[in-house]
């Protein structure tokens, strides 16, 4: 029997939907039968083209600068006004400052800007989106069906950190914690909350770096699968998490990175942190490097940890 990932009759709001992963998600959701409202900040031509491609009857672009919690209020309201309800929220928008900046040189303005877009804007979307989902349930009680699905887009940077980009990593790590907190809070309400964490993905922003022989090879050497991802390969798990087939999944961090989050990657000095190699890697140009580079490994051998603890305990009087 064929199994279909269908969103027929559902209304989805996707932030940052005009390009890259967001655009792939818009295409996939409309193909699955959903009515989609997506936001964009400045890429109006691309947004209009995408809406025309997917069909204006089922795809509606909205210009919106999601840089504060309150900025999300009119976006959610527009989605409800246009299609009558809200069933799915995908928080995909975000900013990654391209320049490498040591923490002691990072301006307060950069820190605050990254936080406002990547975290405050997401909080606002969730706040107003959840309020709408709960109101719908009060008006029409659900019968063994979800009250809503929320998928937040994080990054491998949120799990492993990223040298010289602490502002971005902090926001993406917060997104992961937000997912876990909301999943337990909203599960009794029938609202599912999950997270998808991509690594290197071939989008218009990273295409030149990936195509460059030197930097492209450096990137691929950090990924066990030996290649970067496609936007559609990130959009597909997002789609799955919003269907009936993910009916017992909430609070999960869905890694889509070719195994990179499990392997050693570059540290700030440009050498591999993997236990398998210490060969120096070519440095990827900062202007286009994706947030999966320059991280320290988080895995340690348990026996080594225990031995270290035992070594230090006697001298501190804890024997």
CB hemisphere CA count around 183 (13 angstroms): 17
CA–CA gap between residue 301 and residue 269 (Å, rounded): 24
3-class DSSP assignment, residue 156: coil
Give me the catalytic one of 40, 96, 168, 254.
168
46-85 burial, b if ≥16 CB within 10 A, otherwise e? bbeebbeebeeebbbbbebebbebebbeebbebbbeebeb
Contact predicate 87/122, CB 8 Å: no
CA–CA gap between residue 273 and residue 75 (Å, rounded): 43
- To the query of whether residue 168 is one of the catalytic residues in this protein, the response is yes
**Other C-beta atoms lying within 10 Å of the C-beta of residue 104:** 5
3-class DSSP assignment, residue 227: coil
Give Cα separations from 131 to 87, 158, 189, 242 (angstroms): 12, 27, 11, 18
**Other C-beta atoms lying within 10 Å of the C-beta of residue 175:** 23
Q: Are strands 88-91 and 11-14 parallel, antiparallel or unpaired?
A: parallel
- Residues marked active site are found at 168
């Amino acid at each position: 029997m064929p199994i279909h990932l269908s969103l027929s009759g559902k209304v989805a709001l996707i932030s940052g939907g005009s390009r890259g992963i967001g655009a792939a998600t818009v295409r996939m959701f409309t193909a699955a039968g959903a009515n989609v409202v997506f936001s964009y900040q400045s890429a109006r031509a691309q947004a209009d083209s995408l809406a025309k491609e997917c069909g204006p009857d089922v795809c509606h672009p909205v210009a919106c600068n999601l840089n504060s919690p309150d900025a999300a209020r009119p976006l959610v309201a527009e989605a409800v006004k246009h299609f009558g309800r809200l069933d799915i929220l995908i928080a995909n928008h975000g900013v990654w400052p391209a320049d490498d900046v040591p923490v002691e040189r990072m301006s307060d303005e950069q820190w605050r800007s990254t936080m406002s877009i990547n975290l405050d804007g997401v909080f606002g979307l969730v706040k107003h989106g959840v309020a709408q989902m709960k109101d719908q349930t009060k008006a029409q009680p659900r019968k063994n069906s979800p009250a809503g699905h929320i998928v937040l887009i994080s990054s491998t940077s949120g799990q492993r950190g990223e040298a010289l980009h602490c502002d971005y990593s902090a926001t993406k790590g917060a997104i992961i914690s937000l997912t876990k907190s909301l999943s337990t809070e909203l599960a009794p309400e029938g609202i599912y909350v999950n997270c998808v964490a991509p690594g290197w993905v071939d989008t218009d922003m990273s295409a030149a770096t990936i195509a460059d022989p030197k930097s492209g090879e450096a990137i691929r050497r950090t990924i066990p699968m030996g290649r970067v991802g496609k936007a559609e390969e990130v959009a597909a798990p997002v789609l799955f998490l919003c269907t009936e087939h993910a009916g017992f999944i909430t609070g999960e961090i869905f890694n889509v990175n070719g195994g990179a989050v499990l392997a050693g990657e570059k540290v700030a000095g440009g050498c591999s942190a993997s236990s398998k190699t210490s060969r120096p890697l070519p440095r990827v140009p900062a202007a286009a490097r994706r947030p999966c580079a320059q991280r320290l490994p988080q895995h340690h051998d348990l026996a080594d940890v225990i031995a270290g603890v035992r070594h230090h305990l006697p001298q501190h009087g804890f024997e």
